[in-house]
Amino acid sequence: MSSVLDIKNLTFSYADNPPLYNDFSLQVKKGELVCLLGASGSGKSTLFELICGNLKPRKGSISHKKLAQIYQDPYSSFHPTYSILSQIKDITGGELKDEEYLPLCAKLSLNENLLHEKPHKLSGGELQRCSTLRALLLKPELLLADEPTSALDNITQLDVLNHLLGMLENCGILLITHDRTLAKWCSDRIISLESV
């Protein structure tokens, strides 16, 4: 399978702090789900920021195919004054047909009527699924998922994760989770950032 993410010899630290990453390398291939495990402050979300280009490494290189991200805090990733659907249309290029997003809503157990609401009208779990919907509609080759099911009940969590696993035919997934049992269940590889 072809590579969708290549990180080579990455070194990064904030200001004069000790390096979060020192000569760190990682490859994710199409069809593969890799989990990042680590305590708060171990650099999981920082790695996503580096991959997205929002932070610059001190050394090393990062290359990737077309990516989309599912955010841990979806409230911060949606504008508060526009409907969910209008924001999804903006990101996906403006044109979005019912047949493109309604089947995905069903698979994510998401009531499509919620897409016409503003973010503050939705619960954390509903908005988290909207964030997942938005990412999937971008048809990424690399999906960055930061605790994508943390606000969901167990049944909905399983539905969403099964759908993400079904996407692996077309992309690779890099998943942040604090749940080691979940990581063992769904991942091809687990990267423990405590040992980086």
Closest CA to 21 of 33, 34, 29, 10: 10
The DSSP output letter for 110 is: -
- Tell me the average pLDDT across 182-190: 89
pLDDT at 190: 94
Using the predicted structure, report yes or no on whether residue 196 has a pLDDT greater than 60. Answer: no
Using the predicted structure, report yes or no on whether residue 142 has a pLDDT greater than 90. Answer: yes
- How do 33-37 and 21-29 pair as beta strands? unpaired
pLDDT at 23: 94
- Residue 167 burial (CB < 10 Å; 0-12/13-18/19+)? middle
Instruction: Give the best-scoring range by mean pLDDT among 64-68, 105-109, 135-139, 188-192.
Output: 64-68
Confidence of residue 144 (pLDDT cuts 50, 70, 90): very high
Tens of pLDDT, residues 72-107? 887 888 999 999 999 998 888 767 888 888 998 988
Tokens for 152? 């969901």
The DSSP output letter for 77 is: G
What is the average pLDDT value for the chain, to the nearest integer? 89
Using the predicted structure, report yes or no on whether residue 115 has a pLDDT greater than 90. Answer: yes
The DSSP output letter for 54 is: S
Using the predicted structure, report yes or no on whether residue 49 has a pLDDT greater than 60. Answer: yes
pLDDT at 107: 85
Beta-carbon contacts of 96 under 8 Å, excluding residues fewer than 6 positions away, are 85, 88, 89, 137
Structural domain boundaries in the chain: 3-195
Do 38 and 193 meet the contact criterion of CB atoms below 8 Å apart?
Answer: yes
Tokens for 5? 């993410």
Residue 32 sits at φ, ψ, to 5 deg, of -115, 140
Beta-carbon contacts of 195 under 8 Å, excluding residues fewer than 6 positions away, are none
Higher pLDDT, 149 or 47: 47
Look up the CATH number of domain 3-195.
Answer: 3.40.50.300
Higher pLDDT, 1 or 174: 174
Sheet with 33-37: strands ordered across: 67-70, 142-146, 172-176, 33-37, 189-192
Using the predicted structure, report yes or no on whether residue 153 has a pLDDT greater than 70. Answer: yes
